[in-house]
A and B are shown apart, each in its own frame.
Chain A
Amino acid sequence: MRVATAKESYAADQGLFKTDTQKVWFGLLLAALVLFPLHGSNYWMFLAVLVMINVISTTGLNILTGYTGQVSLGHAAFMAVGAYTVAFFDGRFDTPVLLNLILAGAVAAFIGYLVGLPSLRIKGLYLAIATLAASVILGFIFLNWTPVTGGLRGLNVPTATIMGIELATPDRLYWLVMPITVIMVLAAKNLFRTRVGRAFIAIRDRDISAEIIGISLLKYKLTSFAISSFYAGVAGGLWAYLFRVVTPESFPALASIFFLAAVIVGGAGTIIGGIFGAVFMTLIPEFLKLSATALVPWFPDASIYLAPVRAIIFGLLIIGFLIFEPMGLAEMWRRTRRYFALWPFRT
């Protein structure tokens, strides 16, 4: 049972991992991530890569919506920007993979900056609606700017090649996606130790008060949009390397709702919540599919009902978590940890 975590220096107090236990668990996590590919199944490797891409994107949205309080209904459009950027540069100019990903993030960040500009005049739900409008307009551009985006047909993405090694299959792509995911999640966690991160939280909690104590609302809101879109852009770029086809339909409005649900279900405002949410939301459709296949002996048509059942469960998850567990899976996790930390005393 942990009694106290007393620190003797400011640096130690502000550390990312405050206790030895946390450091050990993190080390185990890294080891697990490195050893995971050894189990061999291509199917799980594919899922793992998809989950990690969603973790990056959800973390980005969490920064904007969970930590800064700006609800965005257009997150998927920024992923699409990243995906198209990667497809365009790698396809047209054969530029290196890492450069493409950085470009994807940068272009998406720029677009995110533009989309955030109306936050000067509007806030709250009106801003959310503006982000929705922005994503519809971006969708229109993807569909019609044919010389760059390939129009209705979309773009094909060459396989990611790093130092001569072709990352054509999920188990190889894992080694690109996993380090990037770990770095970006740690960077996000670190963001909230800095002045910028604290400004975001202040804006979420009471933006008028924040302005009074000297936090420039416009500057920090735009920064939040830009950072969140950067994450989305990188995630979109990695998505492009996984699927190798980008079309205007690849990131529909439903995808934005998927990420919003991931943030809510996982726990808005915590990094671990972003991870939980992404893992949970990505694995639910897989679980449903497995159930449908298992039910075939009794319900031969089960697979036809899969899509509507998925939609219903998806909606019920959002509603259920908002009513019963508004702080998400992260809160459930915290409760569990507190139980074990305080055992044998009750919470």
Chain B
Amino acid sequence: MAIEFIDIVETSLAGLGTGSLMALTGVAFVIIYKATKVINLAIGEMLMIGAFVFYGFSAGLALPIWASVPATLVVAALIGGVIERTMIRPLLKDNPVSVFMVTIGLTSVLIGVVELVWSAEPRRLPEFLPQQPVLIGDAFIPSKTAYSFLIASAVMAVLITVFAFWRGGIALRATATDRAAASSVGIDVPGVFSFSWMLAATVAALAGILVGSVGGISSAMGLFGLSVFVVVIVGGLDSILGALIAGLFIGWLEAMVGRFLGGEFKLLATFSILLIVLVVRPYGLFGTHEIERL
């Protein structure tokens, strides 16, 4: 079967579409890491909860889209805040490994809750994105992928600008660098913690809605988080720009591998990249090098 140029173009565009969603979720991860230095393994499951809450509002309660989306984002922010306050804050003063393992436990709890309420059956979200396929020249892009890309890019652009110029973004970076110093100049450190987790949960939920509309929702959606994990390692755990670039790259790579080598090789390719980056440049493309002191 001949590989035509058009196949490569179509697959690349689809890959960039998925990649933008990976980048968006990666940004959520980075927000948490920037503020609280927590590696949140449950980011995929937070995405999943957002998608299911949206399903609950739009399909279960049959609310119109313009009500479901904000409702979902509010609920997600609340969930993020509760998680931070009850499970994360008590352990922030301890060994970072402990918090990491709490997020592992959290993945299990979130998956269990979703399966309990909605069962493990994969479902489709109600259609709310325009349905006509998008054509660039001869190349076909599924409409949901194209619109997801646009929405994700817009949100990321807003987040990047906000973090660069807004006082809150600077407060976040200050807390990440040195909690004691930030506290002593009057920054409300616990407030920053709560805010970062709530914002990250909201962004993850938005990504969940988009991922769900492209690929359906199921209790196994958290697997997406595994690829996102690779994205943030490659991009740098505390770099939003890194998450963006790495996200687009990994999304593109997975699509190309899936198309031309076979779907079973996708995760292998992603994790091989992860291993290479970990060994060659562990702090990622744009991450800050951690200097360890005795």
A and B are interacting partners: yes
Contact between B278 and A133, CB atoms less than 8 A apart: yes
- B279 beta carbon closer than 8 Å to chain A: yes
A80-122 at interface with B (beta carbon < 8 Å)? 118, 121-122
User: Which residues of chain B are within 8 angstroms of A209 by Cβ–Cβ distance?
Assistant: 294
Contact (A125, B115) CB under 8 Å given A118-B275, A133-B274, A317-B105: no
Contact (A208, B294) CB under 8 Å given A130-B278, A308-B115: yes
- Among B97, B114, B120, B279, point to the contact of A125 (Cβ < 8 A): B97
Contact (A129, B111) CB under 8 Å given A206-B294, A318-B105, A323-B87: no
Contact between B109 and A312, CB atoms less than 8 A apart: yes
How many Å lie between the Cα of A121 and that of B275 in the bound state? 11
How many Å lie between the Cα of A314 and that of B115 in the bound state? 14
Contact between A122 and B97, CB atoms less than 8 A apart: no
How many Å from the CB of A200 to the closest CB on chain B?
16
Stretch at the interface among A20-28, A257-265, A270-278: A257-265
- A315 beta carbon closer than 8 Å to chain B: yes
Contact between A309 and B267, CB atoms less than 8 A apart: no
Q: Is the interface of A mostly helix, strand, loop or mixed?
A: helix
Contact between B278 and A118, CB atoms less than 8 A apart: yes
Chain A residue, CB-CB nearest to B97: A71
Contact between B104 and A326, CB atoms less than 8 A apart: no
- A296 beta carbon closer than 8 Å to chain B: no
Stretch at the interface among A34-42, A135-143, A188-196, A238-246: A135-143
Contact between B106 and A319, CB atoms less than 8 A apart: yes
Q: Mark B90-112, 1 if CB is under 8 A from A, else 0.
A: 11001011101110111111111
Contact (A310, B112) CB under 8 Å given A143-B264, A323-B91: yes
Q: Mark B102-146, 1 if CB is under 8 A from A, else 0.
A: 101111111111111000100000000000000000000000000
Contact between B105 and A322, CB atoms less than 8 A apart: yes
Contact between B108 and A318, CB atoms less than 8 A apart: yes
How many Å lie between the Cα of A326 and that of B102 in the bound state? 11
Chain B residue, CB-CB nearest to A208: B294
How many Å lie between the Cα of A309 and that of B110 in the bound state? 11
How many Å lie between the Cα of A261 and that of B110 in the bound state? 16
User: Which residues of chain A are within 8 angstroms of B97 by Cβ–Cβ distance?
Assistant: 69, 71, 124-125, 128
Total cross-chain contacts (CB, 8 A): 118
Interface size class of B (residues with CB under 8 A): 35 or more
How many Å from the CB of A324 to the closest CB on chain B?
9
Q: Count A interface residues, CB 8 Å.
A: 42
Contact (A137, B271) CB under 8 Å given A208-B294, A309-B116, A312-B113: yes
How many Å lie between the Cα of A16 and that of B105 in the bound state? 35
Q: Mark A133-171, 1 if CB is under 8 A from B, else 0.
A: 110110010011000000000000000000000000000
Contact between B105 and A133, CB atoms less than 8 A apart: no
Chain B residue, CB-CB nearest to A209: B294
How many Å lie between the Cα of A17 and that of B109 in the bound state? 40
Contact between A316 and B282, CB atoms less than 8 A apart: no
How many Å lie between the Cα of A311 and that of B48 in the bound state? 16
User: Which residues of chain B are within 8 angstroms of A340 by Cβ–Cβ distance?
Assistant: none
- Among A69, A261, A309, point to the contact of B105 (Cβ < 8 A): A261
User: Which residues of chain B are within 8 angstroms of A140 by Cβ–Cβ distance?
Assistant: 264, 267-268
How many Å lie between the Cα of A319 and that of B82 in the bound state? 14
Contact between B271 and A133, CB atoms less than 8 A apart: yes
Contact (A257, B267) CB under 8 Å given A125-B97, A307-B115, A323-B87: no
Contact between A125 and B96, CB atoms less than 8 A apart: yes
How many Å from the CB of A216 to the closest CB on chain B?
18
- A345 beta carbon closer than 8 Å to chain B: no
- Among A118, A125, A144, A315, point to the contact of B107 (Cβ < 8 A): A315
B146-180 at interface with A (beta carbon < 8 Å)? none
Question: Which of B108, B271, B278, B292 lies at the interface centre, i.e. has the most chain A CB atoms within 10 A of its CB?
Answer: B108
- A305 beta carbon closer than 8 Å to chain B: yes
Contact between B282 and A126, CB atoms less than 8 A apart: yes
Chain B residue, CB-CB nearest to A117: B279
Contact between A308 and B105, CB atoms less than 8 A apart: no
Chain B residue, CB-CB nearest to A320: B105
User: Which residues of chain A are within 8 angstroms of B278 by Cβ–Cβ distance?
Assistant: 118, 121-122, 126, 129-130, 133
- B27 beta carbon closer than 8 Å to chain A: no
Provide 10 A-B residue pairs closer than 8 Å at the C-beta atoms, listed in order of the A residue: A118-B278, A125-B39, A129-B233, A260-B104, A308-B111, A309-B116, A312-B113, A318-B102, A318-B108, A322-B98
Give the 9 A-B residue pairs with the shortest CB-CB distance, closest first.
A315-B108, A318-B105, A311-B112, A312-B112, A315-B109, A308-B115, A308-B116, A315-B105, A319-B105
A binding-site residues for B, Cβ under 8 Å: 69, 71, 118, 121-122, 124-126, 128-130, 133-134, 136-137, 140, 143-144, 206, 208-209, 257, 260-261, 264, 305, 307-319, 322-323, 326
